[in-house]
Amino acid sequence: MIHRSYLFARGWRSATPVLLLLPGFLLYLVMAVGPSLATAVYSFTDATGIRGIAVNWIGFENYEEFLFRGAASRDNIAALRRTVYFCFFVTVIQFGIGLLFAVLLNQKIRGKKFFRTLFFMPVILGVAIQGLIWKLFLLPRGGPASEFFQLFGWTSELLGGQPRQAFAWVIVVQIWANAGITMVIFLAGMQTIPEELYEAARIDGAGKWQLFRNVTWPLLTPAVNTNLLLNIIGSLQAWQLFLVLIGYRPGTQVLGYLVFAEGFGQTSGSVASAFRQGYAAAASIALFVLVLVFALVTHAWLSRREKRYIG
Amino acid sequence: MTVIDAPQEPRATQAPTAGRGSRPEPPGWLAWLKRQKLASYVVLLVFTVLYIGPLLMLVTTAFKTLPEFFQNPTGMPESFRFENFTEAWNEAQFPRYLVNSVVYTTVATAVCVVTSVLVAFPIARGYLRGGRYVLLLYVIALFLPPALIPQFQLILNLGLFNTRLGYILLFLVNPIGIIILVNYIKAIPRELDESAAIDGCGYYRFVFKIIVPLIRPAIATVTVLHAIGLWNELVLAIIYLTNDDLYPVTRGLIAFEGLYGANWPPMAAAVLILMTPMVVLFLFLQRYIVSGLTAGAVKG
């Protein structure tokens, strides 16, 4: 077990590091890796969330039902499509806003610290507080957002309105809540760019746009990669703000919420509905495949792009 | 869009508006370009409104009476009354929720951090045969399917559903924490191990008396990161805890919302009560939170 480079006491006492490592490692296997892999197994069963009820192997039944059977499968496909939309809008806008914040706050500017803190703060509040704050702000009648839109003669029920509108507002809150992470990752990346490069470019007569285009942007590649991947993976899996802001409403569900709702009996809003955990496991494998495909494609695209810059 | 500050213009950090000392103002669009900082401020202020607006609404609502709120949701409160805060505090059992949250967070974070250090150290040092593969197992965790359903079955069959222990069990591992610790420990010179071993220092004592104090920044980062995630957890609290006595604050807040519905003033007060300590802590621990989130993100 122990490597020969081990420096401390030999003999029976060299078991110490292994013994001390085991609790953490076993916990990891039992609580994380094991269940993670078991998701695939459960997706072929009719498991319920009730203790003592026999679990039967039903093959591809869950997948078949999820993808091909009746009205429910059409809803599932719609949820899948919606997940991709959500991912697209959140990723693109959050990436843009995060980059904008970082660029603006990487200058010598007054109140820099204040702005950084303000934009980052929502990140630490958690979905319950984030969601409730915006639920209040988006109060349909007389709330600040609704009053603002009235100025333009636009009346809307906001979160309570058409599914599309409610969905769009969740995108807004999701970005509000997480743009701070994108910003700090970009800022950390910008801090690794040596000042001399800007000096040299400036001597060559580069303007501010050219400095950004030809110095900052290419050297920001690692942060760009991290942010893109984090945003894509994160937003494909995000659904908790839907729970707090609008609940399980037809026409707004995304895959992650579907897994939770089917698996833990929240589909009808009452606790009494069935826990279809085998089915939910199949749905979560579908989500996993989606995430994996997106992550791999993005990764491949990013490494091609990186090669272009490095040469 | 300004990228970086031009050092030739040291005054640029001063007032962003017109009139920069004795320098003559260039004409037309050039003048605009020179004042790009102004554009920066305008953009920042627009976003500041978007970021502060919801918080402001929360604060003003928390001080209103219900009729006042219905009459004029967006205006300023007539007076600063604290009844909503006392109501939220007393009616919603927030003291109990807070105790629960503190218990879950401290116990789980403590266990997680201690076990993580003991996993990370031998891996980082290469003291473990096959340690590289153990580390790999932690790295790929980020790409494994969600564990939600089998984890539930496990806790259920252990008879730990709806118990404190069962809930804590869900938060004892943190793969990202292991990776942060391993990277940090690698930067500590191996000679330290050698001299300690020569002096007859045991492994256990070495890790806790020498290594732990040296990697305190990384430990702080992992602690803060793990504790925040756990404190804010809502979904697992919904899934695993059905007994109101066991709720952490997040779950309690949603339960409170279910009871109070449109009665926003005490709701807002409750949110504010729970938010304030988070914000204060954040102001002190910002450095660790940010370093945890950006760990390894920009190295390429």
**pLDDT, tens only, A52-86:** 788 899 999 999 999 998 888 999 999 999 999 99
Contact B267 A132 (CB under 8 A): yes
Sign for the pseudo-dihedral over CA of B183, B184, B188, B192: negative
Q: Is the per-residue pLDDT at B15 higher than 50? A: no
Helices (H), B63-82: 66-71
Q: Which residue type does B244 have?
A: D
Is residue A79 within 8 angstroms of chain B, CB to CB?
A: no
Count of the separate structural domains present in chain A: 2
Is residue A109 within 8 angstroms of chain B, CB to CB?
A: yes
- How large is the average pLDDT for residues B264-283? 90
Confidence tier at B99 by pLDDT (50, 70, 90): very high
Query: For residue A2, what pLDDT is reported?
Result: 83
Going from the C-alpha of A165 to that of each of A80, A97, A249, A265, A311, the distances in angstroms are 18, 21, 12, 26, 45
Across the interface, which of A21, A28, A189 has its CB nearest the CB of B122? Answer: A21
Contact B146 A259 (CB under 8 A): yes
Query: For residue A182, what pLDDT is reported?
Result: 96
User: Which three-class secondary structure state does DSSP give residue A2?
Assistant: strand
**pLDDT, tens only, A250-284:** 889 999 999 999 998 776 544 445 789 999 999 99
More confident residue, A170 or A5: A170
- How large is the average pLDDT for residues B28-55? 81
Confidence tier at B269 by pLDDT (50, 70, 90): very high
A33 plus A160 within the same structural domain:
no
- The three-point CA angle A280-A282-A285 to 5° equals 110
Give contacts of B228 with chain A, Cβ < 8 Å: 124, 126
A246 plus A149 within the same structural domain:
yes
Contact B293 A184 (CB under 8 A): yes
**Enclosing domain of residue A21:** 11-42
- The three-point CA angle B293-B270-B266 to 5° equals 150
Q: Is A55 inside any structural domain? A: no
User: Which three-class secondary structure state does DSSP give residue A110?
Assistant: coil
A117 plus A31 within the same structural domain:
no
Residue with tokens 């003033």: B265
- How large is the average pLDDT for residues A149-154? 85
User: Which three-class secondary structure state does DSSP give residue A80?
Assistant: helix
Chain B residue with the nearest C-alpha to that of A23:
B115
User: Which three-class secondary structure state does DSSP give residue B8?
Assistant: coil
Question: What's the number of CA atoms in the CB half-sphere (13 Å) around residue B75?
Answer: 11
* CB-based contact B108:B172 (threshold 8 Å): yes
Q: Is the per-residue pLDDT at B34 higher than 70? A: no
Query: For residue B298, what pLDDT is reported?
Result: 58
Contact A16 B40 (CB under 8 A): no
A283 plus A160 within the same structural domain:
yes
- The three-point CA angle B253-A94-A174 to 5° equals 20
A250 plus A109 within the same structural domain:
yes
Give contacts of B289 with chain A, Cβ < 8 Å: 123-124
Query: For residue B164, what pLDDT is reported?
Result: 96
Contact B231 A3 (CB under 8 A): no
**pLDDT, tens only, A81-139:** 999 999 999 999 999 999 999 999 998 888 899 999 999 999 999 999 999 999 999 98
Report the 10 Å Cβ neighbour count for B3. Answer: 24
A102 plus A226 within the same structural domain:
yes
Q: How many CB pairs under 8 A join A and B?
A: 319
Is residue A299 within 8 angstroms of chain B, CB to CB?
A: no
Is residue A100 within 8 angstroms of chain B, CB to CB?
A: yes
A37 plus A146 within the same structural domain:
no
Global pTM? Answer: 0.89
A10, A36, A115, best to mutate vs chain B, most B CBs in 10 Å: A36
Query: For residue B16, what pLDDT is reported?
Result: 43
Encoded tokens for A188: 């950390």
More confident residue, A117 or B14: A117
**pLDDT, tens only, A277-308:** 999 999 999 999 999 999 999 999 999 988 87
**CATH number of the domain within which A295 lies:** 1.10.3720.10
- How large is the average pLDDT for residues B241-258? 93
User: Which three-class secondary structure state does DSSP give residue B70?
Assistant: helix
Chain A residue with the nearest C-alpha to that of B208:
A20
d(CA B229, CA B225) in angstroms, rounded, equals 6
Chain B residue with the nearest C-alpha to that of A138:
B54
Q: Which residue type does B260 have?
A: Y
A18 plus A89 within the same structural domain:
no
- A189 Cβ neighbours under 8 A, 6+ residues apart: A102, A219, A220, A222, A223, A224, B297, B298
Query: For residue B28, what pLDDT is reported?
Result: 64
Q: Is the per-residue pLDDT at B272 higher than 50? A: yes
Give contacts of A37 with chain B, Cβ < 8 Å: 144-145
Q: Is A50 inside any structural domain? A: no
Q: Is A129 inside any structural domain? A: yes
The beta-strand segments (E) located in chain B are none
Which residues 161-220 in chain A show a CB within 8 A of chain B? 176, 181, 184-185, 188-189, 192, 198, 202, 208-209, 211-212, 215-216
- DSSP code at position A271: T
Contact A280 B297 (CB under 8 A): no
Q: Distance (Å) from the C-alpha of residue B38 to the closest C-alpha of chain A?
A: 10
Q: Please state which CATH number belongs to domain B88-294.
A: 1.10.3720.10
> How big, in percent rounded to 5, are the helix, strand and coil portions of chain B?
70, 0, 30
Which residues 213-272 in chain A show a CB within 8 A of chain B? 215-216, 221-223, 225-226, 237, 240, 243-244, 259-260, 263-264
User: What are the start and end residues of each CATH 1.10.3720.10 domain in chain B?
Assistant: 88-294
Q: Is A158 inside any structural domain? A: yes
Q: Is A210 inside any structural domain? A: yes
Confidence tier at B286 by pLDDT (50, 70, 90): confident
User: Which three-class secondary structure state does DSSP give residue A138?
Assistant: coil
Q: Distance (Å) from the C-alpha of residue B21 to the closest C-alpha of chain A?
A: 18
Across the interface, which of A3, A108, A260 has its CB nearest the CB of B12? Answer: A108
Chain B residue with the nearest C-alpha to that of A190:
B298
Query: For residue B31, what pLDDT is reported?
Result: 65
Confidence tier at B78 by pLDDT (50, 70, 90): confident
- How large is the average pLDDT for residues A31-38? 95
- DSSP code at position A276: B
Going from the C-alpha of A47 to that of each of A10, A257, A277, B21, B136, the distances in angstroms are 49, 19, 5, 76, 31
Across the interface, which of B4, B16, B118 has its CB nearest the CB of A24? Answer: B118
Interface pTM, i.e. ipTM: 0.90
A13, A27, A113, best to mutate vs chain B, most B CBs in 10 Å: A27
Q: Which residue type does B67 have?
A: P
User: Which three-class secondary structure state does DSSP give residue A106?
Assistant: coil
Query: For residue B13, what pLDDT is reported?
Result: 40
d(CA B103, CA B97) in angstroms, rounded, equals 10
- B252 Cβ neighbours under 8 A, 6+ residues apart: B92, B93, B94, B96, B97
Query: For residue B2, what pLDDT is reported?
Result: 35
Contact A126 B36 (CB under 8 A): no
d(CA B87, CA B256) in angstroms, rounded, equals 12
Torsion of CA A307, A308, A311, B6, to 10 degrees: -110
Q: Distance (Å) from the C-alpha of residue B235 to the closest C-alpha of chain A?
A: 7
B42, B199, B298, B299, best to mutate vs chain A, most A CBs in 10 Å: B298
Query: For residue A70, what pLDDT is reported?
Result: 85
Please choose, from the candidates B31, B26, B36, the residue with its C-alpha nearest in 3D space to the C-alpha of residue B2.
Answer: B36
**pLDDT, tens only, A200-253:** 999 999 888 899 999 999 999 999 999 999 999 999 999 999 999 998 888 899
Confidence tier at B196 by pLDDT (50, 70, 90): very high
d(CA B61, CA B77) in angstroms, rounded, equals 7
